[in-house]
Amino acid sequence: VVLFIARDVTAQKAEARNRQNLAEQMMNSQKLESIGLLAGGIAHDFNNLLLSIRASLDILLQRKSITGQDGHLLDNVSEACHRAETLTSQLLGFARRGNFTKKVVNVQTLVEKSVNLFRPTAKKLDIRLVLEPVCLQVSGDENQLSQALLNILFNGRDACLLEPRTDDQPPARLTIRTEEATDEHPGWEFHPEGAKADDYICIQVRDNGCGMSEEVRKKIFDPFFTT
């Protein structure tokens, strides 16, 4: 006589997974709190250094003897300094749990400024801008939007330049496109939960780099995931 006893442990496994998820969320919350304290201290010290740089830069920019290419380079330094100042503001905002400024942002201007900051770091890339001719505007924090776009551009640059290109391969290329989009946009693979508007603005960044594995692709929106 053979006796079998079967017991459904689905509920127990689900409960164990939930406990593990809660533990991970608590650890991440504690990690965020520690990072916030560290970010606030770094941002404060970094901001003091930027004040000295900005003061010296403003003196140089006021000199009429600086023209041509030198003037253009100083303008680039000034823009980069401004970007660094906004980054410290973001760090302080993060340390204070989200003290950001929401306003109407011109998307074309946002993209052009971000790309101008990005270009000096990607001299080996063929960068192409395809911008919608009509004025596109969105409500949001300009610094956060610019930083998000820059992060994507840096990722595309790294993907293109990760491995040497052979003679039979096309040159490394990064294309940034803006367009009006609807809820039925054919290129959407990820739809944010709660996004219910009928019309959207699409900022598309396309590169011809190495791409990402399916395993990495599944985790790209995880808050603490990095490659």
Domain locations in the chain?
Answer: 10-95, 103-217
pLDDT of 13 above 80: yes
Mean pLDDT of the chain: 80
pTM of the model: 0.59
Alpha-carbon 181 to chain mean position: 21
Each residue's pLDDT tens digit, 51-101: 888 888 888 888 867 777 887 888 888 888 887 887 787 677 666 555 567
Lowest mean pLDDT among 38-47, 90-99, 119-128, 167-176: 90-99
How far apart, in Å, are the Cα atoms of 190 and each of 10, 64, 150? Answer: 30, 52, 20
Query: How far is 52 from 37, CA to CA, in rounded Å?
Result: 24
What pLDDT, on the 0 to 100 scale, is given for residue 178? 93
Q: Nearest to residue 157, comparing CAs of 173, 145, 139?
A: 173
Fold of 103-217: Heat Shock Protein 90 (3.30.565)
What pLDDT, on the 0 to 100 scale, is given for residue 215? 84
Each residue's pLDDT tens digit, 107-123: 999 999 889 888 888 88
CA angle 30, 36, 39 (to 5 degrees): 140
